[in-house]
A and B are shown apart, each in its own frame.
Chain A
Amino acid sequence: MKNILQHINKAFDHRIRLGIMSILMVNEYADFNTLKELLGVTDGNLASHAKALEAEEYIMIEKQFIGKKPNTRYMATKEGRKAFKDHIDALEKLIQKS
């Protein structure tokens, strides 16, 4: 049991961070507005949770311009993908045990 709990990742212990990672696992990238719409959160909320994931190096943030409009893209890193996969595996094991 203790072994499994080690893999439960605190970085994903929030609905919005869990959501951001879920989306980036199945999409090459997602931009700010897409994430905002899918998760139903405010700008500030999304930005701060995204920053937290970036600090862990689980996601990459890429700022660019489309025409004159700024556009922020989010992508999962290799480490992020692995950490999230481990997290899901641990969740599944915990559910099976209960």
Chain B
Amino acid sequence: MENYLKDIQDIKKMMDKSSQFLSLSGMAGVMAGIYALSGAFAIREIAIHNQGKVNLESYSFKLIVLIAGAVLFLSVLTAFVLTMRKAKRSEESMWNSTSKRLAINFLIPLGTGGIFAVLLMKNHYYGLIAPITLIFYGLACVNASKYTVRDVRYLGITIVILGLFATAYMGYGLQFWALGFGVCHIIYGALMYFKYDRKQ
């Protein structure tokens, strides 16, 4: 009888392992949230000190873009390093068919949203940039969640809802942005960390 039970467990394990990339690091989410909050705080300071003077050609605008870029770069780098470490520990390879599928399905909505945001910026629709980046990032998480832990799906749905609120309450873009990319990442990242990472 024990053999049959082991068979069932093996089947389930193989099904999960072959269809989901489970080495995603929760701590990377927490770190990304911290970077985003620091970035949002810095941008708020710049905006306060340069009230009415922020436009496309100004120095402060370039600084804001630089900060946003640095947040993105640091987040991706941290996620990459921590996920690689976790994959090594759990003997899952970092670049396999499931992680490839995860990346592609994450990048399709995210890339679309990124291009959309740049085009909006070119046409001077600044107010929509925060909601659009939130909504598309949320949809990217929902889309990618089929290939990894379920928590990513709930993170995505939360961020999409925040994006819609940010559209309804225009003018609070930075606050919603900090809430979505900062607070949500920290909460869901910590949740994932305690649920999956600490056990190993």
> Footprint of B on A, CB under 8 Å?
15, 18-19, 22-23, 25-27, 30-31, 34, 37-39, 88, 91-92, 94-95, 98
Residues of B within 8 A of A27 (CB): 18-19, 97
Flag whether B48 is at the interface (Cβ < 8 A).
Answer: no
Instruction: Report the number of A-B residue pairs with Cβ-Cβ less than 8 Å.
Output: 48
On whether the beta carbons of A18 and B10 are closer than 8 Å, the reply is yes
Q: How far is the CA of A30 from the CA of B15 in the complex (A)?
A: 12
B interface residues, tally (CB under 8 Å) = 16
On whether the beta carbons of A94 and B10 are closer than 8 Å, the reply is no
Shortest CB-to-CB span from B103 to chain A, Å, is: 16
On whether the beta carbons of B4 and A91 are closer than 8 Å, the reply is yes
On whether the beta carbons of B14 and A19 are closer than 8 Å, the reply is yes
Known: A26-B18, A34-B96. A94 touches B1 (CB 8 A): yes
- The 5 sampled A-B contact pairs (Cβ below 8 Å) are A22-B10, A22-B12, A38-B17, A91-B7, A95-B1
Main DSSP-derived SS at the B contact region: helix
Flag whether B93 is at the interface (Cβ < 8 A).
Answer: yes
Q: How far is the CA of A22 from the CA of B96 in the complex (A)?
A: 18
Shortest CB-to-CB span from A6 to chain B, Å, is: 15
On whether the beta carbons of B18 and A95 are closer than 8 Å, the reply is no
On whether the beta carbons of A95 and B15 are closer than 8 Å, the reply is no
On whether the beta carbons of A26 and B11 are closer than 8 Å, the reply is no
Q: How far is the CA of A93 from the CA of B1 in the complex (A)?
A: 11
Flag whether B8 is at the interface (Cβ < 8 A).
Answer: yes
Residues of B within 8 A of A37 (CB): 93, 96
Interface 1/0 per residue, B27-55 and A, CB below 8 Å: 00000000000000000000000000000
Flag whether B168 is at the interface (Cβ < 8 A).
Answer: no
On whether the beta carbons of B4 and A94 are closer than 8 Å, the reply is yes
Choose among B5, B14, B93 the residue that contacts A23 (Cβ–Cβ < 8 A): B14
On whether the beta carbons of A88 and B11 are closer than 8 Å, the reply is yes
